[in-house]
Amino acid sequence: MQAPYFVSQRKIFINSGKLYCDTPEKLLKSPLFEEILRRYLRHLRKKNTLRYEEIVANLGTRDEERLRAKILLFFKLLMLHRAEELPELNPEWQPVIEARCLWREFVEGFYNFWRSFERYLILPAVAEGVAGKSSLYKASFVNLNEELKGLILRVYRTISTNLTGEAIRVYRQLPAGANLGALTEPISWEIPSQEYSVLAEIPFIRYALLEPPIIFYPRQIRRQGAFVELSYNPLAKLRLDPEEWFCYPAKVGPLLIFIYFWREFASLGFSLANLFELADKIEIQGARPDAILIFGGPRLPEEGISFFYEDRENDLVVGYVIGEEIADYFGYLKKTTLTLHNIIMIRQGRLPLHGAGVHIVLKDGSRATLVIVGDSGAGKSETLEAFRLLSEDYLSDMIVIFDDMGSISEDAEGLKCYGTEIGAFVRLDDLSPGYAFSEIDRSIFMNPHLTNARVVIPVAYYHRIVQGFKVDLFLYANNYEEVSKARPAVEFFEDPETALSVFRAGARMAKGTTDEKGLVHTYFANPFGAPQRREAHEKLARRYFEAMFARGVRVGQIRTRLALEGYEQEGPKEAARALFDLIREIRK
């Protein structure tokens, strides 16, 4: 980012290397302060004609430039003088001071208008290597936002106090600075061919900063459509302005994926910090990534939102999501990334899994590694949440391996499962009441007021998700069948063919997390790479299911009843209790 700042309809980016304010005087003189004031006045004129007309009448001018200049001067004077002193400096201020209530509301509205933006503080390293070697850059990155927050609060409180003549009695330490920050750096990596040179100058995020609570309002609340495979590389004729793009170098399980996102999707891109481990410079420099994702590119000739291309010549998989309002949903960013992961896993001979994996240790010492396979809304994450809720009575330890996408491989010790994410992107309704808010200092909320409200929250450690845990139980999440004597909460299959038929059918009752409704079927409960590589996936699935039965892994299904009315919380809890009893029985 070379410009000192950039303002769009909902976002503000501040280049702290070129726009640094450490005094109230510098803040009030800054071009960004004037720009936000200009936008606020236009907002008032459009949304609140009465308030705007009162301001115009009080200052005696309708000219936008003169109006803005008078307000700026008024603020500067209030930083130095009490309101009642201003008429002594110039009698023209007398009518302004007599309308203190109007101006108090104006100041409060202006402050809240600033806070209504998504605010990003960017500290670009001037050259490659500076960010890593200079302690000044690291210290500045951590301290800059605290300084900005303190400065804005100081200006706001001083103006308010001198305007009203009243001392502040309740101090609210609101996040008045940036919501998020990033120290960015240009890093040289192995560009495999000319097609990828368009990405060479886009800076990498080296360090990220989150200032909770963070609440975003993406313009979509669910995914729709399928992932379309392209016959050509979408980067071939692509033109991107490095000024408008960032790269989040993500460690997705064992893979390195460069995720490039357009600044208009910054709220989604920066939220990756809660989902995927951020790669270090030593892992980026001179390296060739396993996959590349472009999130926010121009529309392609093909119909669709999300695309991928397998570049066999350069041993890369490329993902592509269009930069339009319909794609403004975190699920597109997450799932396209995981689709790239799954396609690579299939190519490497691992079986990708859409579900959840957890290693649990009961209080009596019994332990097991459990994999639950299921599509969106099947109850996999909700069962993990039930484990957490019941942990005080049943568990001594629980290690989350994956909470959406993982993989399974086989070695001499047995079949082992691996994860991809350090975080989870889950529905607020599927968490216990209050849990997400108890974790508000780490969570990123998305559209909490709407159906399918979501939260991105850290749940695992990277070293755990790539460790490899030997699988004991492998279950399909059945969210639509009632539990009875004939249909227990946990039921096992007798042979690989029966198991394969259930997993292959991928039946579930859709819960509105996508554009599907009713009882639907998804091949292996995994629309992210498995159907696109069905022939190769089918061979892998048969091989692994036969290996599980041969090696004593218990394969079956768990009835979560998540889609049955009244069982949204109790269904996963009862299934979890049945699992705990089963683990004790197995270990005996």
Write out the two tokens for 141: 């990155």
Write out the DSSP string of 149-171: HHHHHHHHHHHHHHHH-----S-
The whole-model pTM stands at 0.92
pLDDT in tens, 310-362: 999 999 999 999 999 999 999 999 999 999 999 999 999 999 999 999 999 98
Average pLDDT over residues 260-277: 97
| pLDDT of 371 higher than 90 | yes
| pLDDT of 234 higher than 70 | yes
Q: Are residues 252 and 104 in the same domain?
A: no
CA angle, residues 541, 319, 503, in degrees to nearest 5: 20
pLDDT, residue 172, reads 80
Could you tell me how far CA 52 lies from the centroid of its own chain?
A: 38
Q: Are residues 19 and 137 in the same domain?
A: yes
pLDDT level of residue 192 (50, 70, 90 thresholds): very high
Burial of 1 (0-12, 13-18, 19+ CB in 10 A): buried
Cα–Cα distances in angstroms (integers) from residue 133 to residues 3, 84, 145, 279, 470, in the given order: 24, 52, 21, 17, 41
CA angle, residues 515, 216, 295, in degrees to nearest 5: 65
pLDDT, residue 85, reads 94
Q: Are residues 327 and 364 in the same domain?
A: no
The chain-wide mean pLDDT, for the chain, equals 91
Domain end among 330, 347, 364 = 347
Give the range of the structural domain holding residue 230, as residue numbers without chain letter.
186-347
Cα–Cα distances in angstroms (integers) from residue 118 to residues 73, 262, 332, in the given order: 27, 15, 20
pLDDT, residue 568, reads 82
pLDDT in tens, 468-480: 999 999 999 999 9
Query: What CA dihedral angle connects 489, 495, 499 and 501, to 10 degrees?
Result: -130
For residues 102 and 100, give the distance between their C-alpha atoms in angstroms, rounded to a whole number. Answer: 5
Burial of 414 (0-12, 13-18, 19+ CB in 10 A): middle
Q: Are residues 140 and 251 in the same domain?
A: no
Average pLDDT over residues 279-295: 97
Q: Are residues 311 and 414 in the same domain?
A: no
Q: Are residues 193 and 318 in the same domain?
A: yes
pLDDT level of residue 216 (50, 70, 90 thresholds): very high
For residue 259, report the phi and psi dihedrals to the nearest 5 degrees.
-105, 110
For residues 501 and 434, give the distance between their C-alpha atoms in angstroms, rounded to a whole number. Answer: 39
Average pLDDT over residues 232-243: 95
In a domain, 180, yes or no: no
pLDDT in tens, 112-145: 999 999 999 999 986 666 555 555 666 677 788 8
pLDDT, residue 513, reads 56
Average pLDDT over residues 492-503: 96
Q: Are residues 554 and 523 in the same domain?
A: yes
Strand partners, 307: 228, 320
What b/e sequence results for 344-365 when a residue is b if at least 16 CB atoms lie within 10 Å of its CB, and e otherwise? bbbeeebbbbbbbbbbbbbeee
- The Cβ of residue 280 has, within 10 Å, a number of other Cβ atoms equal to 12
pLDDT, residue 431, reads 72
Average pLDDT over residues 379-391: 80
Domain end among 133, 164, 195 = 164
pLDDT level of residue 437 (50, 70, 90 thresholds): low
In a domain, 428, yes or no: no
pLDDT, residue 434, reads 65
pLDDT, residue 383, reads 82
Q: Are residues 128 and 225 in the same domain?
A: no
The structural domain count of the chain equals: 3
Burial of 197 (0-12, 13-18, 19+ CB in 10 A): exposed
Q: Is the peptide bond before 458 cis (omega within 30 degrees of 0)?
A: no
Q: Are residues 479 and 397 in the same domain?
A: yes
Contact (Cβ atoms closer than 8 angstroms) between residue 183 and residue 206? yes
In a domain, 438, yes or no: no
pLDDT, residue 125, reads 85
Q: If DSSP states are collapsed to H, E and C, what string results for 334-399? A: HHHHHHHHHHHHHHCCCEEEEEEEEEEEECCCCEEEEEEECCCCCCHHHHHHHHHHHHHHHEEEEE
| pLDDT of 554 higher than 90 | yes
pLDDT, residue 422, reads 95
CATH of the domain at 366: 3.90.228.20
CATH of the domain at 214: 3.40.449
pLDDT level of residue 515 (50, 70, 90 thresholds): low
| pLDDT of 380 higher than 80 | no
In a domain, 310, yes or no: yes
Could you tell me how far CA 29 lies from the centroid of its own chain?
A: 35
In a domain, 100, yes or no: yes
In a domain, 308, yes or no: yes
Distance in angstroms between the alpha carbons of the first and the last residue of the chain: 61
Q: Are residues 204 and 299 in the same domain?
A: yes
pLDDT, residue 62, reads 92
Write out the two tokens for 33: 């302060």
pLDDT, residue 48, reads 75
| pLDDT of 460 higher than 60 | yes
pLDDT, residue 564, reads 87
In a domain, 440, yes or no: no
| pLDDT of 42 higher than 90 | yes
pLDDT, residue 105, reads 94
pLDDT level of residue 514 (50, 70, 90 thresholds): low
Q: Are residues 20 and 120 in the same domain?
A: yes
Q: Which of 183, 185, 175, 184 is nearest to 209 (CA)?
A: 183
In a domain, 181, yes or no: no
Q: Are residues 227 and 107 in the same domain?
A: no
Query: Which uninterrupted H or E stretch holds 73?
Result: helix 64-78
For residues 214 and 145, give the distance between their C-alpha atoms in angstroms, rounded to a whole number. Answer: 15
Domain end among 99, 133, 164 = 164
For residue 111, report the phi and psi dihedrals to the nearest 5 degrees.
-60, -45
Average pLDDT over residues 69-94: 95
